Every structure is written in C-alpha cells, then in structure tokens.
A = this chain, B = another copy of it.
Amino acid sequence: MATLRNLSKSINNTGFGVNANAEGGRLVNKDGTINLRKTGISFLERMSWYHVLLRMPRIKFLILVFAFYTAVNILFATIYVAIGIQYLKGTDAGGSLANQFQQAFFFSSQTLTTVGYGHISPDGLVANIVASLESFAGIMSFALVTGLFFARFSRPKAYLKFSDNILVSPYKDGKALMFRVASQKNNHLTDAECQVTTAFHVMEEGKRVTKFFQLPLEINRINSLAISWTLVHPIDENSPLFGMSEADLQESNIEVMPGIKAFDDHYSNTVQQRTSYTAKELIYGAKFLPTFQRSPDGGHTLLELDKLNHYEKVSF
C-alpha cells in the first residue's frame, strides 16, 4: 500500500503524463533533447532564435553569419548602384554594371565593418545618408553576431560523458540498475545531483499505456564529480522495476532518462546534462570495471575515460 502511494507520487513528479498512451517513439534523444514536436501555433511563435543560434553546430553558425554578411553587403551595394556609383567618390563610374556593383560591394563591406579606408567615400546627401545608416546597422548587427559567437563559446556546458550502456548488476542481496558518468574535460564539477525518470509500457484494461516513474538513487548527490560516478538505483520493493525479468524489461520498451545538474566553478554557474537509455542499451547481468588507477609515477590519479563503459558479464 505504502509502496503504491510512493509510486503513484513518482509518476506525477516526472512532468510526463499520468496515464499517457499517446507518446510516440523514445521520449528523450541520446543527446538529451526531447523527442517532441510542437504544433498548433505558428512557426514564429514556436521559435526562439536565440536557442536555435546557440544550439546550431559551429560550422553551420559561421556559414550562416558569413552568408548574412554577404547578403547585407549585396543589399547595400544594390542601393549604392541604384543611387549612382558617381556618388561614391573614388570609384570608376565608367565601368560596366558588374564593375560598378563590385566597387559598391567593397565600399559597403568597408562601411559595415567600419574599416572605412576612405579611398572610396560617399558624396552627396543620399549616399551619405545610406552610408551613415549602414555603419550604424553594421555596429548593431555585429553586436548580435559577435555576442552570439562569444555566448556560444562561453556557454556553460557540463561536458559529461555517460556510459553507453545501463546495466542490471548484482547489488547487496539483490539487483540494481547502474550507469556511469564522468566529466570529460578539464572542468571540475561540484555539488552534482542526479534525477532519473523512467518510462515503460504496461497493459492496462487491455490497452498498452506508458507509465512514468522517478527512480530513487542510493546516492543522488555528491560533493565533487572528480572521478567517475556510478549511479545506483536498487531494484527493491520500492522500485517500479521490482520483479521484472530481462524479457519483461525488453518487452516493456523501457526508457531510462537521467539528468545531472552540477556547479562548475569556472563558469560559476550551474550546468546540466541529460541523456536517455532505451531497452537496446540495457545489459542484464553485468557489472562495471574500474575506470581509474594510480599513475605509474604514483604522483596522481589517472582517469581512463575509454573505460567508462567497461563491464563484465555476471550471472545472478
């Protein structure tokens, strides 16, 4: 009875539906993003450009920025040509349209970046107004672009590496669900905290429905994530997984979704990372092998990150 109450409470705390059978596919992708699409409101209402521009791969971002720079220069070059290239002092007004455009394009880029060599300069009211607007537009738009570029570079990230697999391992007198995590880079995380949500299918009144539970961990908070951390959910009578066999876990299409929050003292900020394990990544009857050892010279500890997923099969 008490157990049931606990479980029903866990369901609600996950943030997913209580008896939702409407979900499709896996809920959380391997990289921690939610496998969800939003409809019913317009594209623009659904988009946060800041999020898009922050998440985009670096190369794509740089191409986009460069394309934007080129497009703005094309726009202003067209305007200068329309005004008349003779209003850009220092250009050769006698050339072909292509040649005129080319000269206007480079004058535009010199104005937009505020490099302003001055061998070409605006002459007359209209060209001066456009050039004045362009240098202003250049400062404003480069503020966004360079701000984003630095924000991407300095964005607090957890740099966590999770084990590829989640294991059902022997634990005390029974079993436990275990996975591992380590900080992958030259960052140091403290006050790390982990929450694990699970989802699996059950038959309810003849229908296949998805149930959600929060999985309690033996230790869900540590002072320092210096070496690798093994997260342990004991499969005891308080666990929603209690009594499920390997076949049950596979058939129920289980998904385990951990999230870790920690404090990085170089960012002086909280960082967070999530991932997801599906039934295919669950190994029944295995235990993890050590990831760290004394360095040969005895002077420090060696954390071998390639061993994060090293395990050996065991039988219960």
Contact = CB atoms under 8 A, between A and B. Distances in A.
A40 B146 contact: no
Contacts of A184: 38, 41, 45-46
Given A36-B300, A113-B135, A294 B144 contact: no
A6 interface: no
Interface residues of A, number: 127
A135 B147 contact: no
A197 B36 CA distance: 31
Given A36-B227, A147-B153, A299 B25 contact: yes
A50 interface: yes
Do most interface residues of chain A lie in helix, strand or loop, or is the interface mixed? mixed
A150 to B, nearest CB: 4
A99 to B, nearest CB: 9
A268 interface: yes
Contact of A113 (B114, B117, B155, B261): B114
Interface stretch (A79-87, A166-174, A216-224, A244-252): A216-224
B218 A40 contact: no
A41 B305 contact: yes
Contacts of A308: 40
A73 B102 CA distance: 25
A140 B136 contact: no
A214 interface: yes
Contacts of A37: 295, 300-303
Contact of A40 (B46, B229, B305): B305
Contacts of A54: 266
A279 interface: no
Interface string A171-198: 0000000000000111110111001010
Interface string A129-160: 00110011011101111111111011111010
Interface in A186-213: 186-188, 190-192, 195, 197
A125 interface: yes
A89 interface: yes
A236 interface: no
Contacts of A66: 136
A298 interface: yes
A51 interface: yes
B272 A36 contact: no
Given A22-B301, A116-B115, A154-B151, A227 B17 contact: yes
Contacts of A102: 125, 128
A302 B142 contact: no
Interface of A: 12-17, 20, 22-25, 27, 33-41, 45-48, 50-52, 54-55, 65-66, 69, 73, 89, 102, 106, 109-111, 113-122, 125, 128, 131-132, 135-136, 138-140, 142-151, 153-157, 159, 161, 184-188, 190-192, 195, 197, 214, 218-219, 221-227, 229, 259, 261, 263, 265-274, 290, 292-295, 297-308
5 contacts: A38-B302, A46-B305, A54-B266, A109-B136, A115-B115
